[in-house]
Amino acid sequence: MTQPIETVQVDAGILQALLEVRARAYAPYSGFHVAALIECPDGSRFAGCNVETSHYKSICAEASAISAMVAAGQRQIRRVWIVADGQACCPPCGDCRQRLFEFADDATEVLLIDQSAGSAQRWSLTELLPAGFRLRPS
């Protein structure tokens, strides 16, 4: 059965940054606001929020953060924190698991925040996406 590695406390600064980004999410159709914060091996961080459009081809928070990371020249994800409103521990959708996998290694972590508890489930990406697709396996 798929399970998180452990439950960890969330750094107050990380949570505050995520909540500020989540508040700026553009979700007029679903009303479901999500923020993601990616950390690279060098410690740089990139935030993203979901952006919806009326034709329903929306951008997830994780995809938004990945775009910011790539635009800055980064190519490796150490960990990503995710927080959604109204739901404890919102896991990334299937598309975003594959997007994260593109820039991940076996140590990449996904932290799903339960805001009401101030904690996060710590997952390995490979647990969330076993046997992810690579066009050119290394």
Q: Which residues bind Zn ion (CB under 5 A)?
A: 60, 93, 96
Nearest-approach distance from CB 12 to Zn ion, in angstroms: 26
Cβ-based nearer residue to Zn ion, 38 or 60: 60
109 in active site = no
CB of 57 to Zn ion, least distance (A): 12
Q: For the sheet containing 79-84, what is the strand order?
A: 6-9, 119-124, 109-114, 79-84, 34-39, 45-49
**In whole angstroms, how close is the CB of 110 to Zn ion at the nearest point?**
12
Which candidate in 39, 52, 62, 109 is catalytic? 62
> Between residues 25 and 96, which has the closer beta carbon with respect to Zn ion?
96
Instruction: Specify the residue, 96 or 125, whose C-beta has the smaller distance to Zn ion.
Output: 96
Annotated catalytic residues are 62
